[in-house]
Structure 1
Amino acid sequence: MSMRWGMTVPLSGVPLSGHQAVYQALEDAGFTDLWSSEVNGTDAFTPLTLAAAWQPRLRLGTAIAPVFTRGPGLLAMTAAALAEAAPGRFQLGIGSSSPVVVGDWNAVDFTEPYARSRDVLRFLKAALAGETVDHDYGTFALRRFRLERPPATPPQILLAALRPGMLRLAAAEADGVILNWLSPADVSTALAETKAAGPDFEVAARIFVCPTDDAAYARAVGRRLIAAYLTVPAYAAFHRWLGRTEVLTPMWQAWSAGDRKGALAAIPDSLVDDLIVHGSPDECRTKVEAYAAAGIKVPVMALLPTPALEAGGFPTLIKTLTDLGARG
């Protein structure tokens, strides 16, 4: 398989100190990329820093580092340090994140997310290239900032995007885009907004994967995720744009009324099957390949719990990763 093949790290149930064996298993299985996230678990950079030291061949990426929760200078320094530790192997994914992560958990005003994302993107491109930055970007202003250790190979910067405005910004000014919460059939709709991008434009997507033959279990897990994510205003607007207003309105109405059970029950199997990959590892791998066929250059699995994983411990986890890998 020539395409890149990613996994979201760290994996649940394994301490960071135990991930050297996980990273080795992923590489042995044919995974090419490790991508981190940043919500309320680990930060986005520490798991990748360990991977940079432990696995010198794997590519690394953040999906995403929020543009609000670090000062621009600190974000540039953190990205530069990881780019120095993994020269030519690190891609910096940034995005606006959400009002909960930014405001409720980090005590930062979540205002003008598009403008803040645009301004941080422009700053990072200049700073990581070693330039002195003395500029008022609009959402923030910096005076005479220059990295003491600019990376010899500046990382590509990818922008998380959902709707046309951010997708077009990614195409115009970033090195790539990070997509999330869409089906293979939705990929063409999103990428239609990035036609201005060059041929080397990266397209990564996080894909939730539940490797189990127990469809009822997988759909129950998927319903909980859909209810948690697609009731967030940005994701709700994204799926309205994708044409899912009719199918999602019953869930939104129940959720707004405080009826959590009713919201879960209102999510049809067909929607779960569109947005959550599940089945045997072979079936999951085939479904992830459908994203690549639709235009995703870096499909990144996000492994969901299964009864077998929870009961089988570390050996079952390693076997599952092997079965899901590009060489599975």
Structure 2
Amino acid sequence: MRIGIQTGYWSRKPPAGIVEALQQAEAAGLDSVWTAEAYGSDAFTPLAWWGSHTSRLRLGTGIAQMAARTPTATAMQAITLDHLSGGRFVLGLGASGPQVVEGWYGQPYKRPLARTREYVDIVREVIARERPVTYDGEFFTLPVGEETPGATGLGKALKPTVHPLRSEIPILLAAQGPKNVALAAEIADGWMAGFYAPSADAEHRELLEAGFARRAEERSRPEDFEVAATIPVVVRDDVEAAADLVRPHIALYAGGMGAKGANFHKASLDRLGYGEVTDEVQRLYLEGRKEDAARAVPTEMVEEVALVGPPAKVRADLARWEQTALTTLLVQGDPASVAVLLG
């Protein structure tokens, strides 16, 4: 199992010391670095900057929001970063949720699975650069015709002027719902999981197999399929003290990263058997009682989705993830904790 670093969202400003930390991670043998975006920093620019200071780390968007860019714009950025990094780029894509898509990007959040299929089709076609790109879908049309309101009818089918370094750039889909997970296995080169718990590994494998069964013959073989998940890692002598640093993270996602009836992160935790807990966490969080929401997260729930505690315990617990379908564990934690994980 490969180990990478998930840098997550920026808060008020760029993370301090990140270039030096990534250089040390590369020297220590880590596989990759991944970025995220919501409605602050974007996922691509940091990879270009940080990637220029490294030579081996894979550079992944984890994730780039599809609503933020047209498929062709995303493909342009992927081609550009792949060239600049010498073929180290990995494109992680996600549909996000209705609060962000409709509130931040001003787009309707409807039929995200169907939209994802079209989006990935177009990205792949641009990167392949075999012919001018045309597409006639429900969500995307290239080029638009004069029947489209506001269009001139002068649109022309084009292909990128830049010749891609690789005709195929790996695409991973972020997914949490059962249908989304199966879709990732069907059309993508990998799956980026949210709140991956070893206790649910059998269910995840079944969903992946269902998707593989519908996979087009020309796509890569399932054994090449990447399964990546972000796992918070906090090494402290006291388990409760370590868990205390993860509780706010879980409370944020279960309580605040999505509308009350459309929170995909909460739904993932619900499927682990914590429905009553997350209901309470969400209630407290939406009432503005964020600290109380964090305190409502039980330690056993933290240990389901994170590695916490003394060094020996963290290393022993890691074995549970090593026996799952995960191929890439993305560590989210302070440098000292990451160092312990690497042994």
Q: What TM-score, normalized to structure 1? A: 0.84
Other structure's SS at 2:172 match: strand
Change (3 A) 1:193 1:150: farther
| Larger Rg over CA atoms | 2
Other structure's SS at 1:7 match: strand
Higher mean C-alpha deviation, range 10-19 or range 176-185: 10-19
Higher mean C-alpha deviation, range 38-47 or range 243-252: 243-252
Once the two structures are TM-superposed, the CA of residue 179 in structure 1 deviates from its matched residue by 0.3
Write out per-residue CA displacement over residues 96-147 of structure 1, whole angstroms, 9 at most, x where no aligned residue. Answer: 1123433333444333322222221121121111142211221222212422
Tell me what 1:322 maps to.
Answer: 339
Opposite residue 56 of structure 1, the aligned amino acid is S
Tell me what 1:250 maps to.
Answer: 280
* Aligned mates of 1:47, 1:286 — CA distance in 2: 33
Once the two structures are TM-superposed, the CA of residue 218 in structure 1 deviates from its matched residue by 2.9
Could you tell me which runs of 5 or more consecutive residues in structure 2 were left unpaired when the two chains were aligned. Answer: 144-156, 213-221
Tell me what 2:123 maps to.
Answer: 124
Confirm or deny: 8 A CA contact 1:211 1:279 kept in the other structure. yes
* Aligned mates of 1:290, 1:99 — CA distance in 2: 34
Opposite residue 172 of structure 1, the aligned amino acid is E
Q: Is the counterpart of residue 82 in structure 1 residue 106 in structure 2?
A: no
Higher mean C-alpha deviation, range 82-91 or range 160-169: 82-91
Tell me what 1:224 maps to.
Answer: 248
Higher mean C-alpha deviation, range 115-124 or range 238-247: 238-247
| Higher-RCO chain (CA-CA 8 Å, sequence separation at least 6) | 1
Once the two structures are TM-superposed, the CA of residue 266 in structure 1 deviates from its matched residue by 3.2
Once the two structures are TM-superposed, the CA of residue 262 in structure 1 deviates from its matched residue by 4.9
How many residue pairs end up in the alignment? Answer: 311
Tell me what 1:268 maps to.
Answer: 298
* Aligned mates of 2:297, 2:338 — CA distance in 1: 29
Once the two structures are TM-superposed, the CA of residue 300 in structure 1 deviates from its matched residue by 0.4
Matches within 5 A, 1:1-40: 3-9=1-7, 15=14, 18-40=17-39
Q: Is the counterpart of residue 210 in structure 1 residue 234 in structure 2?
A: yes
CA RMSD of aligned residues (A): 2.7
Confirm or deny: 8 A CA contact 1:282 1:323 kept in the other structure. no
Change (3 A) 1:206 1:321: closer
Change (3 A) 1:20 1:226: closer
Once the two structures are TM-superposed, the CA of residue 89 in structure 1 deviates from its matched residue by 2.2
Other structure's SS at 2:264 match: helix
Once the two structures are TM-superposed, the CA of residue 271 in structure 1 deviates from its matched residue by 1.0
Tell me what 2:323 maps to.
Answer: 293
Paired residue for 1:164, among 158, 164, 178? 178
Q: Is the counterpart of residue 191 in structure 1 residue 191 in structure 2?
A: no
Could you tell me which runs of 5 or more consecutive residues in structure 1 were left unpaired when the two chains were aligned. Answer: 305-316
* Aligned mates of 2:16, 2:73 — CA distance in 1: 25
Once the two structures are TM-superposed, the CA of residue 250 in structure 1 deviates from its matched residue by 3.3
Once the two structures are TM-superposed, the CA of residue 36 in structure 1 deviates from its matched residue by 1.3
Other structure's SS at 2:79 match: helix
Write out per-residue CA displacement over residues 282-313 of structure 1, whole angstroms, 9 at most, x where no aligned residue. Answer: 54344344323212100001126xxxxxxxxx
Other structure's SS at 1:203 match: strand
Sequence identity percentage: 31
Change (3 A) 1:260 1:17: closer
Change (3 A) 1:91 1:282: farther
Other structure's SS at 1:244 match: helix
